[in-house]
Amino acid sequence: MKVKVYEGNSLEELIKKAKEDMGDVEILYYEVEKEGFLPFLKRKRYKLFVSEKLNMEREPLKLEVETEIKREIDEIKELLLELKKEPFPPVNLQPSPVSSVEPVSVEVRREFEEFGGDALELLNLLLKKGVEKEVAKEFVKHSCGLDIDTEKLDLNTLTFKEALLKPINDFIEFTGEFKVKEGEKIAYVFLGPTGVGKTTNLFKVASRFVLEKGLKVGVITTDTFKVGAVAQARSYASILDVPFFVATDSKKLKEIVDSLQDLEVILIDTVGRSHYDYWRLGEIKSILTGLNIPSKMVLLLSCNYSTSEAVQVVNKYRSFFPVNNLFFTKIDESSQPGILLNIPYLTGLPVSYISTGQRVPEDMKVLTPELMATYILGE
């Protein structure tokens, strides 16, 4: 009896080949081996042993082989049906980040060619929100790693918010709520251009100190220039029931401060001045020389300003006063919150509060990294 062995991936093919070679064959035996790593993609390889002569005792084995072939065909059919339903098996089951409003333009892709994927999407979103190009680039880069497949910088973190929070935390300083050390007297001086919100926001802060912390607060205004300014401030002070004074020069300011021995916080309002008005800025500086207690200079900036305008304001005010921190106002009137990242990053100044509307005292929040990210992403 002549026995031959055939090897291949399909039993059907092997039997066909054996019959072509040997005529009427008898299947003696077959072996199956599985190849490949993924269970889904494993393939079977067969070894078929056949003889020339028909042997009746072997008939059940032939039947067995045919049944196996049929089963194999059914399995393949099922697999094909599954593949039709889901042509691409899911690769990444992680939640995808918030997507930007508009598609990434060719210009942005070209400008930020070292970035790809979600990093590029986030950059696009930041630019739309008024974040300066170089600021956006540094912030996004800080949360990126190199994707070895695309050889581009892409986000390591899952969401845009996480990707933004990392550089905000690392690049920007937050003062938190204004602090008053026990047993120490401190003055906060509110500075800034005309109409930015110095007087209204000073009283929002005063109200927090009085109503939430129970501190002894006094308010001094040096603004005797604007018609109605003193009356406006006096009426806020009387609502809050805090002592209120007007200082016209440095000598007067010193006298008032000296007389307020039992107060813990003194809030000083100043007249709004254009940052181009050097003469008037000098006047404010001269009055403040009468301030003989520890003080912090708070510069208020409207979120309506362009970044370049705001940087000029900061630089000019800093050339006159040792500005300690930034207080943003009118975020409710702005569609470009990018200024919140741009200015602290470009000037290195810490940030304190943000004013969100006209109501005193409600419309003010302590700026935190979380709040900043929320404003930028527009959530």
Please report the DSSP string for 108-153 in residue order: HHHHTTTB-HHHHHHHHHHHHTT--HHHHHHHHHHTEEEETTTTEE
330 binds, among ligand GTP, Mg ion, none (CB under 5 to 8 A by kind): ligand GTP
When asked if residue 338 is in the footprint of ligand GTP (CB under 6 A), the reply is no
SS3 229: helix
Query: What burial letters (b/e) apply to 116-128, b meaning 16+ CB within 10 Å?
Result: bebbbbbbbbbbb
195 binds, among ligand GTP, Mg ion, none (CB under 5 to 8 A by kind): ligand GTP
Nearer to ligand GTP, 167 or 344 (CB): 344
Q: What is the dihedral of CA 84, 87, 91, 94, to 10 degrees?
A: -70
When asked if residue 355 is in the footprint of ligand GTP (CB under 6 A), the reply is yes
- For ligand GTP, which residue of 329, 334, 342, 352 counts as binding (CB under 6 A)? 329
When asked if residue 332 is in the footprint of ligand GTP (CB under 6 A), the reply is yes
When asked if residue 361 is in the footprint of ligand GTP (CB under 6 A), the reply is no
When asked if residue 175 is in the footprint of ligand GTP (CB under 6 A), the reply is no
When asked if residue 221 is in the footprint of Mg ion (CB under 5 A), the reply is no
Give the total of residues touching ligand GTP (CB under 6 A). Answer: 22
- For ligand GTP, which residue of 35, 102, 333, 370 counts as binding (CB under 6 A)? 333
Query: Cβ of residue 233: shortest distance to ligand GTP, in angstroms?
Result: 9
184: phi then psi, degrees, rounded to nearest 5: -115, 145
When asked if residue 362 is in the footprint of ligand GTP (CB under 6 A), the reply is no
When asked if residue 226 is in the footprint of ligand GTP (CB under 6 A), the reply is yes
Calpha distance 258→270 (Å, rounded)? 19
Q: And the tokens for 28?
A: 């003696």
Nearest of 263, 237, 323 to residue 288 by alpha carbon: 323
Residue with smallest beta-carbon separation from ligand GTP: 272
Calpha distance 358→250 (Å, rounded)? 31
Place of tokens 């006209």: 358
When asked if residue 199 is in the footprint of ligand GTP (CB under 6 A), the reply is yes
Place of tokens 């049944």: 67
SS3 344: helix
- For ligand GTP, which residue of 129, 137, 185, 330 counts as binding (CB under 6 A)? 330
290 binds, among ligand GTP, Mg ion, none (CB under 5 to 8 A by kind): none
Nearer to Mg ion, 97 or 197 (CB): 197
Calpha distance 349→300 (Å, rounded)? 12
Beta strand pairing call for 364-366 and 351-355: antiparallel
- For ligand GTP, which residue of 97, 116, 167, 197 counts as binding (CB under 6 A)? 197
User: Taking the CB of residue 114, how many other CB atoms lie within 10 A of it?
Assistant: 13
Instruction: Catalog residues that contact Mg ion under the rule CB under 5 A.
Output: 198-199
Instruction: Catalog residues that contact ligand GTP under the rule CB under 6 A.
Output: 192, 194-201, 223, 226, 229, 272, 329-330, 332-333, 355-358, 363
